[in-house]
């Protein structure tokens, strides 16, 4: 596609917006980059982009708010992840006949390699990172992209047919696709999330299902056979369904039998490795491993190469990440547990003696789901953020609950209350935006507070 002489409005000056703007400028577009934040907040992000703007295209910055006229007078709108496509500004563009697309849609139109897309309520980042490790471990040109950190459009500058992109996809990104078609698409699981943005659970599921909407019979749809919502899609997708399960054999896909991971397809069964070879904690991570192995095999990874990569994969930062042990107490950072179901999986990874730090910005989650697990495994519950009152009410009587005004205070309280053999676990069950820039910032603040205790 040629962008020379065209005006493209890029909404959002985060990593994806900056990467999209760089690509468009390099290809001759006039780019309007708009964001509600001002120059002071964005200056460090914008520095590399301002250098790019000295080349073919022209950059116009509209910061500190959006201008309706810009949405009405451009040729294309590219939306960064996390920006709701229901905003009235985008409706202005649509009414003017201007296409509104996600950054991943822009990327897929220019990439030459194959895309392996991963979505779901939980486990996306771990599965994406592991899948990339499985590909590269087999000598393939695996790349991790999307919400995992590197915007997909960033690879469009240097792309080849041999590239295989493991892409983490959110429901927000999938709302803005038109032609996006992954060679392998996966939905890991579906539990209520982002209900502050979607009208109900079915609306949220519909956004996730869009990952399959452009697939054809030569593509693959990887689905969790242990999750009722995803398993039901196997008979509905146009692609070839491939399942994974840690509870039962499947006709085609990856499963656990007698403590071994097995892959079955039209050529028979392949015994891959023992189900407990991975250092990752929790049954949910076994599901992530099964999904990643199935996708890797479909992308051409030799099955015999998988075990070494699974053994060597230590996990991803902020996902049940071991921080340190202090006076016999272990500290774990699961800041990525941004919804109730993720917090459930985090608690299930430990047998008990947990001091749980939870709270943040509520996403209309049902915290009562946590009550039995908290009663069984949590000694002390330390709450922070806007959702403190709602969580206290939902979990009343399940565990001793204490409020903290900051992450540092929460860590200090846990350190004072913990005894040898206990686990201090950050698993918020909430978004982070009430107190932090994002879940990564929250996790870093937690780890820094723990390290200061250790010192």
Residues with catalytic function: 124, 147, 194
> How many Cβ atoms are within 10 Å of 194's Cβ, its own excluded?
20
Tokens 């990467």, located at residue: 19
Question: Do residues 75 and 146 make contact, with C-beta atoms less than 8 angstroms apart?
Answer: no
Helix axes 283-298, 124-137, angle to 10 degrees: 40
CA dihedral 297, 300, 305, 309 (to 10 degrees): -70
Question: Do residues 155 and 165 make contact, with C-beta atoms less than 8 angstroms apart?
Answer: yes
* Alpha-carbon distances of 166 from 40, 206, 338, 408, rounded to whole Å: 34, 22, 22, 36
CA dihedral 278, 280, 283, 285 (to 10 degrees): -100
Tokens read off for 62? 């509209």
- Taking the CA atoms of 9, 12, 18 and 20 in sequence, report the sign of the dihedral they define: negative
């Amino acid at each position: 596609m040629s962008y020379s002489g065209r005006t493209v409005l890029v909404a959002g000056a985060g990593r994806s917006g900056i990467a999209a703007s760089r690509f468009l400028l390099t290809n001759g577009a006039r780019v309007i980059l708009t964001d509600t934040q001002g120059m002071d907040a964005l200056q460090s992000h914008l520095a590399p982009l301002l250098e790019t703007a000295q080349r073919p295209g022209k950059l116009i910055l509209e910061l500190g708010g959006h201008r309706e006229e810009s949405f009405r007078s451009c040729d294309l709108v590219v939306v960064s992840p996390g920006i709701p496509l229901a905003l009235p500004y985008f409706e202005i563009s649509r009414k003017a006949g201007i296409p509104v697309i996600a950054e991943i849609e822009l990327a897929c139109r220019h990439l030459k390699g194959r895309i392996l897309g991963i979505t779901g309520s939980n486990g996306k980042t771990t599965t994406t990172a592991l899948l990339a490790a499985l590909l590269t471990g087999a000598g393939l040109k695996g790349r991790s992209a999307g919400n995992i950190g590197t915007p997909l459009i960033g690879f469009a500058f240097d792309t080849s047919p041999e590239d295989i992109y493991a892409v983490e996809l959110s429901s927000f990104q999938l709302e803005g696709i038109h032609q996006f078609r992954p060679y392998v698409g996966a939905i890991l699981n579906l539990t209520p999330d982002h209900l502050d943005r979607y009208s109900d659970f079915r609306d949220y599921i519909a956004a996730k299902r869009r990952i399959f909407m452009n697939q054809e019979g030569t593509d693959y749809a990887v689905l969790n056979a242990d999750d009722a919502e995803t398993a039901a899609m196997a008979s509905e997708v146009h692609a070839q369904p491939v399942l994974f399960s840690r509870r039962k054999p499947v006709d085609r896909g990856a499963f656990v039998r007698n403590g071994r991971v097995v892959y079955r397809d039209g050529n028979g069964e392949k015994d891959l490795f023992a189900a407990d070879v991975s250092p990752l904690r929790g049954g949910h991570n076994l599901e992530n491993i099964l999904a990643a192995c199935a996708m890797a095999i479909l992308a051409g990874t030799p099955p015999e190469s998988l075990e070494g990569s699974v053994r060597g994969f230590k996990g991803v930062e902020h996902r049940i990440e071991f921080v340190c042990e202090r006076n016999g107490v272990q500290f774990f950072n699961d800041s990525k547990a941004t919804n109730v179901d993720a917090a459930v999986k985090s608690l299930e990874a430990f047998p008990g003696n947990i001091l749980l730090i939870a709270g943040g910005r509520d996403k209309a989650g049902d915290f009562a789901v946590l009550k039995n697990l908290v009663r069984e495994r949590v000694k002390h519950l330390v709450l922070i953020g806007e959702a403190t009152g709602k969580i206290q009410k939902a979990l009343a009587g399940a565990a001793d609950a204490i409020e903290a005004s900051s992450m540092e205070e929460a860590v200090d309280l846990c350190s004072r209350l913990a005894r040898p053999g206990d686990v201090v676990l950050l698993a918020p069950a909430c978004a982070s935006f009430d107190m932090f820039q994002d879940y990564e910032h929250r996790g870093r603040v937690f780890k820094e507070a723990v390290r200061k205790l250790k010192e």
